[in-house]
Amino acid sequence: MGVPIRGTPVETYLRGRGIGTADRMPSLRFHPACFYRPEGGGPVARLPAMLAAITDLEGRQTGTHRTWLRPDGSAKADIDTPRRAMGALLGNAVRFGVPADVLIAGEGIETVLSVRSALPDIPAVAALSSGHLAAIRFPAGLRRLYVLRDRDTAGAAARDRLEARAAKVGIEALTLTPRLGDFNDDLRRYGLAALQARLRLHLHVEDAARSVPV
C-alpha cells in the first residue's frame, strides 16, 4: 500500500521539518489519495497522506498511522484531524532501524525522526501517543533505552511508567529532554549539528562513541 517516499510530498513535508534521509525510512510510504472521513460526518475525501507501518517485534504489521498532507507537502492537510491511527497499537510501534541492544523511544513520528537524524546509528521507535509509549514491548537483548520526553504532563507520566517497566527487567533507561516543546522544535530552531552535539552530551559513553559526527 502506497509507494516509497522519495520524490513525493512526504519527502517534501519531512524536509520542511528539517528531516532528511528518505532512503532510511522503509516504514514510511506515500499514498496520493488516502480516504479521509470527517469525525463529525460529511463527505469522504481522498487526500495525499504519509503512511507509517505499525509493527510488532516480529516485524508483522499490526496497523497504519496516517498523516494527511497538503498536495505540495508543505504542511499537514487543512482538516480537523490530520493524524489518525488504526489497527493494534498497544505494545507496537513505527520502527526505524534494525533492532539492537540500544533503542530510542518516543511518541510522534517527527519527534523520533528528528533525533534519529542526529543519531542515525541508534534504532528508534515511535509509539504515536503517550499512553502507547508507556506500553511498548522491549526487544530481546535490549540493554539500554533512551526515552524522548515531550514537555507536557502526559509525556512526563509516560516516561516515568516506561522507565519503571524497563528497570524491572534490568534495562537501563535514560531520559532525553528537548530544550523546546519537542525535538522537532529543537531541530528546526537550532539545526542538526547543534541537536546532535547536545544529544551526545546525554548519551552513555558507548553510544556517544558510535555517534561521532563524520
Q: How far is CA 204 from CA 107, 116, 210, in A?
A: 22, 16, 10
pLDDT-derived band at 211 (thresholds 50, 70, 90) equals low
Query: With 50 as the cut, is the pLDDT of residue 214 above it?
Result: no
Contact 129, 98 (CB under 8 A): no
**Cα 212 from Cα 114, distance rounded (Å):** 17
Asked if the 93-210 domain carries CATH number 3.40.1360.10, the reply is: yes
What is the pLDDT averaged over residues 25-38? Answer: 96
User: What CA–CA distance (Å, rounded) separates 173 from 144?
Assistant: 6
Q: In this predicted structure, what is the pLDDT of residue 42? A: 80
* Cell numbers placing 90: 498497544
If you average pLDDT over residues 91-114, what whole number do you get?
Answer: 96
Give the pLDDT confidence score for residue 41 in this predicted structure.
Answer: 78
Residue 20 has what pLDDT? 87
Q: Which of 59, 57, 62 is nearest to 137 (CA)?
A: 57
Computed over every residue of the chain, the mean pLDDT equals 93
* Amino acid (one-letter) located at 1: M
The predicted model gives 9-32 an average pLDDT of 92
Cell, residue 55: 509493527
Side chain identity at residue 107, one-letter code = E
Q: How far is the C-alpha of 73 from the C-alpha of 44, rounded, in Å?
A: 20
Amino acid (1-letter code) at residue 58: E
Distance, in Å, from the CA atom of 3 to the CA atom of 51, rounded to the nearest integer, reads 9
CB-side exposure of 90: number of CA atoms within 13 Å? 0
pLDDT at 66 exceeding the cut of 90: yes
Per-residue pLDDT of 181-197, as tens digits, reads 999 999 999 999 999 99
Indicate whether 6 pLDDT > 70: yes
The domain locations on the chain are: 9-87, 93-210
DSSP assignment string, 1-41: --B--TTSHHHHHHHHTT---GGG-TTEEEEEEEEE--TT-
pLDDT value of position 21: 77
What 3-state DSSP class applies to 210? helix
- What is the predicted pLDDT for the residue at 99? 86
H/E stretch holding 49 reads strand 45-55
The letter for the amino acid at 200 is: R
pLDDT average, residue stretch 103-128: 96
